[in-house]
Every structure is written in C-alpha cells, then in structure tokens.
Amino acid sequence: MKKYFLIFVLFAAFAAQAQNQSQTKPVFQLRIYEIFESNKHEFHERFKDHAMRIMKKYNFKIISIYESKSDKKTEFVYFLEWPNETAMKKAWEDFRKDQEWIDIKKQYTAKYGDVVGNIEDRILTKVDYSPN
C-alpha cells in the first residue's frame, strides 16, 4: 500500500510540475486573416487605429505584422508573444468582450461590409533547439 501511495505522490508531483512549466513557458501565436482588396484600406485602418490600441489594454504583445498576397487572396498575418497560454486565452476573452471593440466592429461592418474573411489561429511553442 505504501508503494502505491509513493507512486501516486510522485505522479502527482510530476503532473503539477508539468502543469506549472506549461504556464510559465512563453507561447507564440500566429494569426492569419483573409482580407479583401475592395476594403483592404479600411481593414488596415481598423486594425492600426483601433484593434492595436484596444489590444494593448489587454497586454497583447504584437511582435510583427505582414501582408501576403497571392493570385487567389490577400492575407494579413501577425505574430504575438504571450507569457503563457493561460494569459493568451484570458486576453483574447477580454478583448472580444470589450464594448468599444464590439461597437467599432459593428460600425465598420455597417459602413464597409465584412473586412475579414477566413481567420486562422496557430499557437506555437519553441522547440529546444530553436535559435533565439
């Protein structure tokens, strides 16, 4: 019985350590938005003048922003860094509930139609041999 108890305690300690490490290890997020040529300017205006400002309130750390264009579509791509996945999820939840952001999205959609098509979201964790 003591043997099983010891195994259980070791397993619980290992699980707690693994949980703690996943909460302190930085995570990166790659966001890819399909945008439309017909209102691309309005999308960039909304992101630059409004989304970024509101995101800052919720500790979004945008590392870089890109645009990618192919024959078929134009994409807006940005890269974020988070202290951990829990912080990322909480920030996104708060941002999406932000009344100012909700109102801005409504205003832009009413005036320009949809400025964003398909959205891709990827959470990335660095591998141990990644260059810094």
Domain boundaries, the chain: 25-124
pLDDT digits (tens, 9 = 90+) for 60-103: 999 999 999 998 999 999 999 999 999 999 999 999 999 999 99
The DSSP secondary-structure symbol of 129 reads T
In this prediction, residue 25 has a pLDDT band, given cuts at 50, 70 and 90, of confident
Determine the pLDDT at residue 23.
55
Q: Does domain 25-124 have CATH number 3.30.70.100?
A: yes
Lowest average pLDDT, out of 18-32, 40-54, 72-86, 96-110, goes to 18-32
The DSSP secondary-structure symbol of 39 reads G
List the beta strands (DSSP E) in 1-132: 27-35, 61-69, 74-82, 119-124
Q: What is the DSSP string of 88-120?
A: HHHHHHHHHH-HHHHHHHHHHHHHH------EE
